[in-house]
Amino acid sequence: MPPTALEEAQRGSRPPAKLRTEEFRLGRPEIVGPDAPEPPFPIALEGKVQRGFGRGGKDLGCPTANLPDESTTAMSSVTKTGIYYGYAQVIPPKDEPTQLRRVDTKVLPMVMSLGWNEFYKNKRLTAEIHIMHKFESDFYGYEMKAIVLGYIRPEFDYISREALIEDIEFDKRVALNCLQRPAYQEYSKDPFFVLDGNL
């Protein structure tokens, strides 16, 4: 069995990510995984959104929310690095003014990277969530809840930023397709989230 992401991080050394090949891009399926989540999924994560490197939105057109290291152990201890999909929700502080709209606080589809971001040569393991929704304001310091439901692909290194962006956009489509399946849609109403009327 391959080492988990956490085991790799604890060793302080990690195998180099494979360079993404053209053959991989051409052979990618538009939907992955079984018709219902299988162990170790679902995996529930929560924590306050932290400032990351600021590259997702600026460099890649894919803004991400970083969860604190300690909040991702539930996932990194049972999975390998790679790209995942599921649902996430941003929860504003109660009784405090917020610029978030009601639609911003709904349970929304997400894609998640758990890994080292080889293209940028990160020094530590990170968990970055991209919620597939257009936010008009940031939400640093706000609570985020996420349920990870499936695995899309391994983490790769890239010869160009354009190739990375191309895969990110494909990952988003795969995630949305996967979440259309009824057994996955059920998790958008999971009591782990703060459902309508309780925010």
Cβ-contact 56, 148 below 8 angstroms? no
Q: How far is the C-alpha of 4 from the C-alpha of 7, rounded, in Å?
A: 5
Measured from the Cβ of residue 83, the count of other Cβ atoms closer than 10 Å reads: 23
Cβ-contact 67, 44 below 8 angstroms? no
Catalytic residue among 8, 46, 128, 155: 128
Q: Is 8 a residue of the active site?
A: no
User: SS3 of 47, please?
Assistant: strand
Active site residues: 128
